[in-house]
């Protein structure tokens, strides 16, 4: 199989390529990425000598060029704007990438006769659930511009399948952690700050619950959807590994040898209530795709911290970049003050 992976310079996409290289060595793989702030060229270079196309998924000409040059059988789409806080200020750019970009890819799949596109989405499209679990047929109820833009992309996938029978499969993943994650999400953001001896901002009392899945498990779930998923279907890819944010922070403090004096509780920048809890049922993926998570969280999270400790050369240029520092100051400066 020939697979074009969009957004592979990013976090989960790069792990997916590595999984393909290890577990499907006969597959031909190419990368398509815009190399935005979270798309790291060094991450692409670490994937080895594979075809690379620089472009944006909402640009039909750039997408067509990659398809006509590489001639893939399938596309796996990881390309997305993906940070909730950023989406509060720039919702339009999230809609362009996460909805219009998805529609552009679907049109390309239909036009060029590809056999499959897997669209990688998120559990955040479901909204918040105080008890119980999200199932694939749970009505979506996104609560931020980011999650709304991802939900829009999911709806475009559904419409394309029903209107044109475009061979699309949607996966919805839980909060993902592991090496090579741009340091703006909780685990990598807090890890690099703690390694530098800087304070970390916790929203409220930190009792929000998230379901965590390792990037390797997430990538293998997406591979299972690529190979065994049914057109038009949605598959939850989760670990049913629920943790309060404050528990994650406690582990990160321990693994970086830091104390609680570096934790600063702050108000949530969102005007509405922060999503209290995410939790998905992944029985459908196990039953229909033959997939289940394998990575143990309590050993993999310390290993992730150890990776960041050993790979400062990867993340230090990011944290020293003017755009990254401006991001920290914009969203957390009034809370952290001189501790930026």
Q: Which of 124, 211, 216, 255 is catalytic?
A: 124
Q: How far apart are CA 102 and CA 105, in angstroms?
A: 5
Angle at 171 between CA 125 and CA 273, to 5 degrees: 20
Contact in structure between 109 and 166 (CB atoms under 8 Å): yes
Name the pairing type of β-strands 209-214 and 242-244: antiparallel
Task: Say whether 268 is catalytic.
Answer: no
Contact 167, 301 (CB under 8 A): no
Mark whether 123 is an active-site residue: yes
- Catalytic-labelled residue, pool 33, 58, 81, 123: 123
Please give the Cα distance from 75 to 61 (Å, whole number): 16
Instruction: Give the residue carrying structure tokens 């596109």.
Output: 117
Say whether 267 is catalytic: no
Task: Classify residue 179 by its DSSP letter.
Answer: T
Q: Which residues contact 157 (CB under 8 A, 6 or more apart)?
A: 102, 106, 119, 166, 168, 170
Q: Which of 126, 146, 180, 332 is catalytic?
A: 146
Q: How far apart are CA 300 and CA 191, in angstroms?
A: 14
Active site residues: 123-124, 146
């Amino acid at each position: 199989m020939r697979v074009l992976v969009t957004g592979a310079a990013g976090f989960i996409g790069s792990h997916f390529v590595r999984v393909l290289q290890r577990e499907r060595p006969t597959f031909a793989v190419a990368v398509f990425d815009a190399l935005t702030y979270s798309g790291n060229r060094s991450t692409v270079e670490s994937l080895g000598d594979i075809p690379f196309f620089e472009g944006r998924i909402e640009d039909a000409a750039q997408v067509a060029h990659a398809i006509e040059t590489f001639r893939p059988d399938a596309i796996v789409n990881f390309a997305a704007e993906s940070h909730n806080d950023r989406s509060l200020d720039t919702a339009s750019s999230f809609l362009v990438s996460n909805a219009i970009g998805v529609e552009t890819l679907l049109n390309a799949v239909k036009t060029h006769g590809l056999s499959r596109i897997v669209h990688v989405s998120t559990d955040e499209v479901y909204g918040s659930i105080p008890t119980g679990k999200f199932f694939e047929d749970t009505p979506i109820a996104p609560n931020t511009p980011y999650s709304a833009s991802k939900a829009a992309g999911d709806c475009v996938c559904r419409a394309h399948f029903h209107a044109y029978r475009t061979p699309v499969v949607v996966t919805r993943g839980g909060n993902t952690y592991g090496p090579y994650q741009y340091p703006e999400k909780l685990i990598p953001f807090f890890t690099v700050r703690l390694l530098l001896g800087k304070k970390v901002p916790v929203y409220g009392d930190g009792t929000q619950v998230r379901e965590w899945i390792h990037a390797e498990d997430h990538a293998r779930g997406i591979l299972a959807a690529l190979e065994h998923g049914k057109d038009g279907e949605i598959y939850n890819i989760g670990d049913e590994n629920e943790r309060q944010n404050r528990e994650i922070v406690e582990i990160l403090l321990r693994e970086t040898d830091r104390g609680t004096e570096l934790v600063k509780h702050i108000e949530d920048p969102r005007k509405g209530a922060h999503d209290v809890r995410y939790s998905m049922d992944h029985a459908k993926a196990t039953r229909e795709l033959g997939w289940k998570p394998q990575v143990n969280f309590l050993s993999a999270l310390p290993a992730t911290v150890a990776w960041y400790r050993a790979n400062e050369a990867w993340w230090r240029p990011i944290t020293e970049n003017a755009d990254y520092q401006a991001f920290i100051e914009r969203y957390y400066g009034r809370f952290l003050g001189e501790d930026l």
